[in-house]
Chains A and B, each alone.
Chain A
Amino acid sequence: MNIADYKKYDVLNGKGLRNSLFTSGCRHHCKGCFNAATWNFDYGTPYTPQFEDQVISDLNVEGIKISGLSLLGGEPFEHVDGLLGLVRRIQQECVGKDIWIWSGYTFEEILADTSKSELLAYCDVLIDGKFILEQRNLKLQWRGSENQRVINVKQSLHQGKVVLQD
């Protein structure tokens, strides 16, 4: 797994002050993608254990209220194996931090896939669906086109249907 970008103190991707991890590689190839360079699976730098330690310690930085980690891409669900270790550690080592994840797959598509849904279970918020240029709307919060949804993952899994985040 390669990392396309890692941003500390991101205010644009998710609620609160967050750290954002962009994974490389995507097969959706949406027209008008804001980050097309990251379609390439070889883009960026390799993910290392040292880097993972850094991500964990950055979330726990003292004196600054970091709300959590945002996983974007690329398509993070292309790297279920690569990310599972990280999200498990966050759950254990980073108290009170939430995980937001952006995907071109829909909630339903992810649920239908055993390994993808395993990763999803560690996340709190999912922004799902491809970016559709014709439905682009810059006034939307956390997403780029009208078809995409901001989903409360825990509630949705619990109730067995999509529950939107308020």
Chain B
Amino acid sequence: MIVTLVIKRDGSEVPFNQQKIIDAICAAMNCTDKKIDMDVAQKVADKVTVKISKLHKIDIEHIQDEVQSALMNSKRKDAAEEYIGYREIRTLKRRERSSLDKKVQGLLDLTNEEVLKENSNKDGATIPTQRDLLAGIMAKDFAQTYMIPKRVVEAHNNGSLHFHDQDYSPYFPIYNCMLIDLKGMLENGFKLGNAQIETPKSITTATAITAQIIAQVASHIYGGNTINEIDIILAPYVAQSFIKHFKTGLQWLYSMNRTDIDALDIFYENQQLKETYPNCFEYAKHLTEKETFDAFQSLEYEINTLVSANGQTPFSTFGFGRGLSWEERQIQIAILKNRIRGLGKDGKTPVFPKLIFGMEEGVNLKPEDPNYDIKQLALKCSTLRMYPDIISVPKVKEITGSFKFPMGCRSFLGAYEEDGQALHDGRFNMGVVTANLPRIAIRAKGSEKTFYRLLDELLETCKEGLMFRVNRLKGVKAKVAPILYMEGAAGSRLQPEDSIDHLLENGRASISLGYIGIHETILSLYGQHIFDDEKLRQKGLDIVKYLSAKATAWKNETGYGFSLYSTPAESLCYRFCKLDEEQFGVIAGITDKGYYTNSFHLDVNKKVTPFEKIELEKDYPQHANGGFITYCEFDSLVKNPEALEAVWDYAYERLPYFGTNTPTDKCLECGFEGEFEATNTGFKCPNCDNSNPKTSSVIRRCCGYLSEPSQRPFNAGKQKEVLSRVKHM
């Protein structure tokens, strides 16, 4: 008798074994209501065996085909159906497995552009980042297969919506961005790694600890972190440094003994002290100013040299500007002067932390305000380094219900009270799902009614995705992220086994519906540019109002802090557009540009004045109050900060949050300072044509954050968007 060889999928050959067929049929039968019929199983197996016994070799797929048809011809068609279903699932799994392998292989040989360039803050060539990216590939695959609701996975993969940050969440119960409760941590002490940290006694120590906290927090969340009002939070430690220096001065300049020194009440505004010990006062003042400057220099270097467990520099933001005391002013000055100086011997523009300057009448807005000098410093800094962006304190209060800086680059919390007190620090965002508006506009073929019907359908899926994000965090125990839940970064000190549920509820945390491409949506639906027609401007606003009303309804229904967020779309601008081009073809002005426009922004290629852009965009934030920013493109303003002030003052009255993009590029070959030319593949010096990334410093705004694309190239869509940018002056 011939021994038939079976060719397996990996190409290896094994002798045919009838028992394996019987086992497979029994397994299929076991899933049916009629259960196993050994007699039928044996008969089918015999039939197949006879058929193939004359062959020397047979492919495994052929054997399965034979089993399938023999089963279909038996009295157990139900078992045949199970058998077929099982085969299909296995085939699908194998295909998935092989695509997963491809992604992992692509990471290894650096060809997986999608993963490597998704986040311009990550250097995908380095080992720690590759570990993070590898984990991301696996986590995303697992989450899509076993965790995220099927309808949401399908909508994500076909590009109807975007379930953000799947490389971290939902595989890990991890949230997006936050305001770190730095004040609570410093005042009450906390445990970091193996060390118990007490309240610092100088600004040097306070900033060193702040850097450590930021690094730890950044490793436990996937979005950005913000120190909200860092000047006010760290001011007590400047006061401590002043005391320290004053005491040293008394000891050495006035030979005072310890007991007498300790009896004095030392603080900067103490006039009597100043008059009694003038030299000592000047000495302490000078040393404290110097120490504060140095402390913030160290902090800036720390943040720019750190790599979090997520394989990147922490996305960090400092909000400041409202403090009026001498100590608070010293911090504001230190932050700005360090930024003006730049990093390293070439004085390169740092990308992190993002700086946001809070502007307010009576504080720093007008020449008669006490901190007007600091506004001048902020203007100078912005012309040289692009940051700080500005916040209009009254507008943020009006639009979001209370004052706070954004979490990360643009996510804003609503008002929330605990024990009758407004609470901001320690709160966070649970994540985002973004709707692809241009797609449903294309599908609606010019019908507004169809557009809103399709929008309703899409929003139901978005809501399902968002509620899934919330539910993933529910029941999570404090021990999974000690820095956040047990040591105070999220504003509470829980026990390891405590649930974090109360931190998620009643609007304490936000959960955000995002949207992209109002510009393309209007163009597709009505065939005209939103800027050119007052009626269309209203239509654009109507869509955002509609989305906002949905988010509010969901909030009322579920008790969770649903908000509408204007998605920055770093890589999404490219992904949505590409998928729509594949599905609907090249559509002029919509899919032919290679990118979709950020949230409610005017398309970057529209030539308008900054004032016109501000006028167009100013009405959106009050509806999309879970996240927003407006920015304008300028020529270099280094020689003309007065012009920037005119723009800032105009924005202050109209916009909650505003940034300016000005050229701050530098050629390290020829010394040119100004704006490099964007090309399809990178950037080149206009003076000497140098395009070597190693000798170029090119800084561009990527979303709400800056980025250095000469070092880590943007994805193709973002590069196209950068190429299309026109100046607004």
Query: Which residues of A pack against B, CB within 8 Å?
Result: 8-12, 15-18, 63-67, 141-142
Which of chain A's residues have a CB closer than 8 A to the CB of B645? 16, 65
- Of B635, B639, B642, B653, the residue contacting A17 (CB under 8 A) is B642
Which of chain B's residues have a CB closer than 8 A to the CB of A16? 640, 642-643, 645-646
B716 at the interface (CB under 8 A from A): no
Structural contact, B634 and A9, CB atoms closer than 8 A: no
Which of chain A's residues have a CB closer than 8 A to the CB of B642? 15-17, 67
- Of B634, B639, B653, the residue contacting A63 (CB under 8 A) is B653
Structural contact, A9 and B609, CB atoms closer than 8 A: yes
B184 at the interface (CB under 8 A from A): no
Q: Count the B residues whose beta carbon is within 8 Å of the partner chain — how many?
A: 18
Which of chain B's residues have a CB closer than 8 A to the CB of A10? 729
**What's the Cα separation between A17 and B639 when bound, in Å?**
12
Structural contact, A64 and B646, CB atoms closer than 8 A: yes
Which of chain A's residues have a CB closer than 8 A to the CB of B637? 11
B321 at the interface (CB under 8 A from A): no
User: A9 with B639: in contact, given A64-B646, A65-B650 (CB under 8 Å)?
Assistant: no
**What's the Cα separation between A64 and B643 when bound, in Å?**
10
Max chain B C-beta neighbours (<10 A), residue from A12, A17, A66, A142: A17
Give 10 nearest A-B pairs by CB, closest first.
A17-B646, A16-B642, A11-B643, A65-B646, A17-B643, A141-B639, A11-B640, A15-B642, A9-B609, A11-B729
Q: Given A11-B637, A15-B643, list of 20 further CB < 8 A pairs? A: A8-B609, A9-B610, A9-B729, A11-B643, A11-B644, A12-B635, A12-B640, A15-B642, A17-B642, A17-B646, A63-B653, A64-B611, A64-B646, A64-B650, A65-B645, A65-B649, A65-B650, A67-B642, A67-B646, A141-B639
**What's the Cα separation between A141 and B729 when bound, in Å?**
18
Q: List 25 A-B contacts (CB under 8 A).
A: A8-B609, A9-B610, A10-B729, A11-B640, A11-B643, A11-B644, A12-B635, A15-B640, A15-B643, A16-B640, A16-B642, A16-B643, A16-B645, A17-B642, A18-B643, A63-B650, A63-B653, A64-B646, A64-B650, A65-B646, A65-B650, A67-B642, A67-B643, A67-B646, A142-B639
**What's the Cα separation between A64 and B640 when bound, in Å?**
16
**What's the Cα separation between A8 and B728 when bound, in Å?**
11
> B19: shortest Cβ distance to chain A, in Å?
84
Max chain A C-beta neighbours (<10 A), residue from B640, B644, B646, B650: B640
**What's the Cα separation between A15 and B645 when bound, in Å?**
11
> A136: shortest Cβ distance to chain B, in Å?
13
B647 at the interface (CB under 8 A from A): yes
**What's the Cα separation between A141 and B638 when bound, in Å?**
10
Max chain B C-beta neighbours (<10 A), residue from A9, A18, A63: A9
Which residues of chain B from 643 to 688 have any CB-CB distance to chain A below 8 Å in the complex?
A: 643-647, 649-650, 653
**What's the Cα separation between A12 and B642 when bound, in Å?**
11
| Chain B minimum-CB-distance residue to A66 | B646
| Chain B minimum-CB-distance residue to A7 | B729
**What's the Cα separation between A160 and B53 when bound, in Å?**
118
> B632: shortest Cβ distance to chain A, in Å?
11
**What's the Cα separation between A152 and B635 when bound, in Å?**
26
Which of chain A's residues have a CB closer than 8 A to the CB of B640? 11-12, 15-16
Which of chain B's residues have a CB closer than 8 A to the CB of A11? 634-635, 637, 640, 643-644, 729
**What's the Cα separation between A66 and B650 when bound, in Å?**
11
**What's the Cα separation between A67 and B650 when bound, in Å?**
14
**What's the Cα separation between A64 and B650 when bound, in Å?**
6
> A74: shortest Cβ distance to chain B, in Å?
22
Max chain A C-beta neighbours (<10 A), residue from B635, B642, B649: B642
Which of chain B's residues have a CB closer than 8 A to the CB of A17? 642-643, 646-647
Which of chain B's residues have a CB closer than 8 A to the CB of A141? 639
**What's the Cα separation between A47 and B132 when bound, in Å?**
65
> B633: shortest Cβ distance to chain A, in Å?
12
**What's the Cα separation between A162 and B642 when bound, in Å?**
25
Which of chain A's residues have a CB closer than 8 A to the CB of B610? 9
> A44: shortest Cβ distance to chain B, in Å?
20
**What's the Cα separation between A15 and B643 when bound, in Å?**
7
**What's the Cα separation between A65 and B611 when bound, in Å?**
11
Which of chain B's residues have a CB closer than 8 A to the CB of A67? 642-643, 646
> B648: shortest Cβ distance to chain A, in Å?
10
**What's the Cα separation between A64 and B648 when bound, in Å?**
10
> A114: shortest Cβ distance to chain B, in Å?
34
**What's the Cα separation between A142 and B646 when bound, in Å?**
19
Structural contact, A9 and B611, CB atoms closer than 8 A: yes
| Chain A minimum-CB-distance residue to B647 | A17
Which of chain B's residues have a CB closer than 8 A to the CB of A66? 646
> A143: shortest Cβ distance to chain B, in Å?
11
Convert B275-312 into 0s and 1s, putting 1 for each residue whose CB lies closer than 8 angstroms to a CB of A: 00000000000000000000000000000000000000
| Chain B minimum-CB-distance residue to A138 | B674
Which of chain A's residues have a CB closer than 8 A to the CB of B639? 141-142
**What's the Cα separation between A67 and B645 when bound, in Å?**
11
Which of chain B's residues have a CB closer than 8 A to the CB of A12? 635, 640
Which of chain A's residues have a CB closer than 8 A to the CB of B729? 9-11
Which of chain A's residues have a CB closer than 8 A to the CB of B635? 11-12
> B673: shortest Cβ distance to chain A, in Å?
9
> B358: shortest Cβ distance to chain A, in Å?
21
Which of chain A's residues have a CB closer than 8 A to the CB of B649? 65
| Chain B minimum-CB-distance residue to A15 | B642
> A69: shortest Cβ distance to chain B, in Å?
14
| Chain A minimum-CB-distance residue to B687 | A138
| Chain A minimum-CB-distance residue to B654 | A63
> A19: shortest Cβ distance to chain B, in Å?
11
| Chain A minimum-CB-distance residue to B644 | A11
| Chain B minimum-CB-distance residue to A142 | B639
**What's the Cα separation between A41 and B635 when bound, in Å?**
30
**What's the Cα separation between A63 and B615 when bound, in Å?**
11
| Chain A minimum-CB-distance residue to B639 | A141
> A166: shortest Cβ distance to chain B, in Å?
13
**What's the Cα separation between A81 and B326 when bound, in Å?**
56
> A132: shortest Cβ distance to chain B, in Å?
21
Max chain B C-beta neighbours (<10 A), residue from A11, A15, A18: A11
Which residues of chain B from 604 to 652 have any CB-CB distance to chain A below 8 Å in the complex?
A: 609-611, 634-635, 637, 639-640, 642-647, 649-650
**What's the Cα separation between A141 and B641 when bound, in Å?**
12
| Chain B minimum-CB-distance residue to A10 | B729
> B653: shortest Cβ distance to chain A, in Å?
7
> A20: shortest Cβ distance to chain B, in Å?
11
> A124: shortest Cβ distance to chain B, in Å?
14
Which of chain A's residues have a CB closer than 8 A to the CB of B611? 9, 64
**What's the Cα separation between A15 and B610 when bound, in Å?**
18
**What's the Cα separation between A37 and B650 when bound, in Å?**
35
Which of chain A's residues have a CB closer than 8 A to the CB of B646? 16-17, 64-67
**What's the Cα separation between A113 and B649 when bound, in Å?**
42
